[in-house]
Structure 1
Amino acid sequence: MAEVRQVTNTQQDKILIMGPSWVGDMVLAQSLFKILKQQKPDCIIEVAAPGWTLPLLERMPEVDAAIPLPFKHGQLALRERIRFGRRLKDRHYTQSIMLTNSLKSAILPAASGIKRRTGFLGEMRYGLLNDIRPLDKTRLPRTVDRFVALGVNPDAAIPSAIPNPTLVASKENALACLTKMDIDVPQAPVLGLCPGAEYGEAKRWPIAYYAEVARAAYAHGWQVWLFGSEKDVPFTAEINQLSNMVCLDLGGRTKLGDAIDLMSLCTAVVSNDSGLMHVAAALDKKLIAIYGSSDPHHTPPMSSKAVIEYLGLECSPCFQRECPLGHLNCLKQISPKHIIHTLTLN
């Protein structure tokens, strides 16, 4: 088990967080970590989550240690989870908090012998959890509300002012990444474009629209950087081609930690509802967040600098991977000119 960091602490409050598996949700989980530290400044917070989340956790000062989980997504691996949990017994956690709702994810804290195991009921987790909270989706409409609710006493209201996630990026690493890729340090404003949509096409603003925004930004003297994973390479490449190759295409060229640090150099970001959207918000960037099939009332970017573009059509939100009506009006009717105007390029 590779640890991000460990601190010496004489207090008994040591909390194991079973973290989410999505970038955006892990960013939102930082609000819970902040609440826990506000309540008990000397508590130790350790997070067990998929290994790829470590770059995010490394940039959250509230996290004292990270425990990468070796299990594949969706894999039960009952015996392995029990063995893994037993190996954590000597860490002497006083509480575990479950940010996932699956049955399998609750096995590890129970096997660790943690006395207080907090979470929503989820997939009938009686016995595995002993501090079961009712999930009132009306009272807790946002993902971040639900995370924070698990960090306060069962009879307490969630704080009226939930702290925003704030990732601490490494400028030194960002500059090292630019040097490694033989790219000059930007001397002009930088617009970051995030055209990825892991969930599906119904969350992807049209590629041609992104290209039009890129051309406009470049014409106003901005640099344009395209962010995306290896899966997004075809889309970032097409945007660059349609914008006459004026962009720095980072699609598939950076790991998550490097992408976070490079995004910290951006002046503004335009993004689909995605993990990188939440990263941009947590970096306190001017952000235009474009929503299609998803609901901005459920997972909004946590930043005062974020502008949400959402039409709220009669068919929205449908939460489908592809438009069930075949027109994708929820995204196509958000025009590039409107986004350019909102950016106030000058």
Structure 2
Amino acid sequence: MKKYHKILVVGPSWVGDMVMAQSLFITLKNTHPDCQIDVLAPSWTLSLLERMPEVTKAIALPLPRGKFGLMARIKLGKSLRSEGYDQAILLPNSWKSAIPPFFANIPVRTGYIGECRWGLLNDPRKLDKKLLTMTVQRFVVLGLPVDAPMPPGCPKPAITISKDRQQAVIDKFKLTLPAAASVPDRPAAHSPSMEIKILALCPGAEYGPAKRWPTEYYAEVARHKIDQGWQVWLFGSDKDKADAAQINKDTSGLCTDFTGRTSMAEAVDLMSLANTVVTNDSGLMHVAAALDKKIIAIYGSSDPGFTPPLNDKAQVISLNLICAPCFKRECPLGHTHCLTGITPDRVLDAIDG
């Protein structure tokens, strides 16, 4: 079997998928310990890649998501020729994602056939969705020989956070942490008798409202934990600010609201300070899993078997209704019972369990 030394991975465009891609990076390093892994991906993912020790270099794709940009992709590919890559692995199934590796003259270009990419790929793989039922499996397989046993074992993502990065966000946001919550190396963090009391809530889900647990339920969970002395932190993007504001209003402003105030890097570093995360099926759920947090993951329209949090501490809550998973952005039946039927008490029991 040929040993590839320098590999270009064309990465995905979603936060959760990029986290799961780390399982591929770990697999490549386990198979070829001396390989160099560079990742071509949207610029907003670079801070995640910086926290993955398997990645040597992250290369920003100079195009917004959804833009074809044929000439820009050809130009990018030609600019990569001097890097001397031995193999390219394409995680997206799109035709456009295969253009840069082709014009970079990378000798082995591996990916799923996707949008009729026969001419652009020379190591095409056929995806067996019944055998590879999870997204992470589909990523990992592309780093293995064609005749490797299926389904593959998938190492869990593990984002690395330094205490300097933690301290930087503590200082920037002027945080006062609970007595037991600490940056690594502070003695209190190792005391088994003291519980870290920071609860992170992630009420957003970019895909749509059919993946979002009701804000009033999040608020009820927050109120209970605040009454018990916990700090509650709210995470999300600008799109989640209204939901976060409502949760904070319902808790008399006692939550710390980070929605729309942080970069992706800062959100990751802040979340590393929490010990428990309640979250919809979202990119931040996968970030929390890769940070090895205790997670209560709430699933509505999506399938926990397809994109589960890759973490042994995670507890998935799904009602498994006959109408779910529907994979719709909005409930086609107009009631979202798959989410409203999950009570705050059930989530609180999972937090305390």
| Equivalent of residue 111 in structure 2, options 98, 113, 119 | 119
2:255 pairs with 1:258: no
Q: What's 2:96 paired with?
A: 104
Q: What's 2:69 paired with?
A: 77
Cα distance in 1 for partners of 2:333, 2:281 equals 20
Cα distance in 1 for partners of 2:53, 2:208 equals 32
Contact 1:145 1:158 in 2 (8 A): no
Give the letter for the 1:119 counterpart. Answer: G
The CA deviation at 1:70 is: 0.6
The CA deviation at 1:181 is: 2.1
| Equivalent of residue 330 in structure 2, options 313, 322, 329 | 322
Cα distance in 2 for partners of 1:198, 1:259 equals 16
2:86 pairs with 1:94: yes
Runs of 5+ consecutive residues of structure 1 not aligned to the other structure: 1-10
Greater shift after overlay, 98-107 or 241-250?
241-250
Cα distance in 2 for partners of 1:93, 1:176 equals 36
2:292 pairs with 1:300: no
Give the letter for the 1:198 counterpart. Answer: E
Cα distance in 2 for partners of 1:191, 1:175 equals 18
What is the CA deviation profile of residues 200-233 of structure 1, one whole-angstrom value per residue up to 9, with x for unaligned ones? 0000000000000000111111110001111111
Find the residue that maps to 2:119 and give its secondary structure. coil
Cα distance in 2 for partners of 1:171, 1:245 equals 29
2:318 pairs with 1:310: yes
Q: What's 1:190 paired with?
A: 198
Q: Give matches, 1:40-59, under 5 Å.
A: 40-59=32-51
Cα distance in 2 for partners of 1:57, 1:159 equals 26
What is the CA deviation profile of residues 110-167 of structure 1, one whole-angstrom value per residue up to 9, with x for unaligned ones? 0000010000001110110010111000110000000001000011124753210000
Cα distance in 2 for partners of 1:116, 1:12 equals 9
| Equivalent of residue 338 in structure 1, options 341, 346, 352 | 346
Contact 2:141 2:152 in 1 (8 A): no
| Equivalent of residue 284 in structure 1, options 292, 298, 321 | 292
Find the residue that maps to 1:191 and give its secondary structure. strand
Judged with a 3 Å threshold, the aligned counterparts in structure 2 of structure 1 residues 132 and 32 are, in CA distance, closer, same or farther, namely same
| Equivalent of residue 206 in structure 1, options 181, 194, 214 | 214
Cα distance in 1 for partners of 2:299, 2:4 equals 43
Find the residue that maps to 1:81 and give its secondary structure. helix
Cα distance in 2 for partners of 1:163, 1:30 equals 9
| Equivalent of residue 244 in structure 1, options 222, 245, 252 | 252
The CA deviation at 1:92 is: 0.3
Cα distance in 2 for partners of 1:117, 1:51 equals 23
Q: What's 1:8 paired with?
A: none
Runs of 5+ consecutive residues of structure 2 not aligned to the other structure: 180-195
What is the CA deviation profile of residues 209-264 of structure 1, one whole-angstrom value per residue up to 9, with x for unaligned ones? 00000001111111100011111111111101011211111111111111101101
Give the letter for the 1:141 counterpart. Answer: T
Contact 1:191 1:269 in 2 (8 A): yes
Find the residue that maps to 1:216 and give its secondary structure. helix
The CA deviation at 1:171 is: 2.8
Q: What's 1:223 paired with?
A: 231
Give the letter for the 2:272 counterpart. Answer: S
Q: Give matches, 1:3-18, under 5 Å.
A: 13-18=5-10
Give the letter for the 2:217 counterpart. Answer: Y
What is the CA deviation profile of residues 256-288 of structure 1, one whole-angstrom value per residue up to 9, with x for unaligned ones? 111101101101000000000000000000000
Cα distance in 2 for partners of 1:310, 1:171 equals 35
Give the letter for the 1:48 counterpart. Answer: L
Contact 1:269 1:286 in 2 (8 A): yes
The CA deviation at 1:180 is: 1.8
Q: Give matches, 1:18-37, under 5 Å.
A: 18-37=10-29
Give the letter for the 2:51 counterpart. Answer: R
Aligned residues: 335
Greater shift after overlay, 252-261 or 160-169?
160-169
The CA deviation at 1:177 is: 1.7
Q: Percent identity?
A: 56
The CA deviation at 1:186 is: 3.1
Q: TM-score, normalised by structure 1?
A: 0.95
Cα distance in 2 for partners of 1:240, 1:174 equals 24
The CA deviation at 1:304 is: 0.2
RMSD: 1.2
Q: Give matches, 1:54-65, under 5 Å.
A: 54-65=46-57
Greater shift after overlay, 69-78 or 26-35?
69-78
Find the residue that maps to 1:127 and give its secondary structure. coil
Greater shift after overlay, 73-82 or 87-96?
73-82
Give the letter for the 1:96 counterpart. Answer: A
Q: TM-score, normalised by structure 2?
A: 0.93
Contact 1:165 1:282 in 2 (8 A): yes
Contact 1:175 1:185 in 2 (8 A): no
Find the residue that maps to 1:228 and give its secondary structure. coil
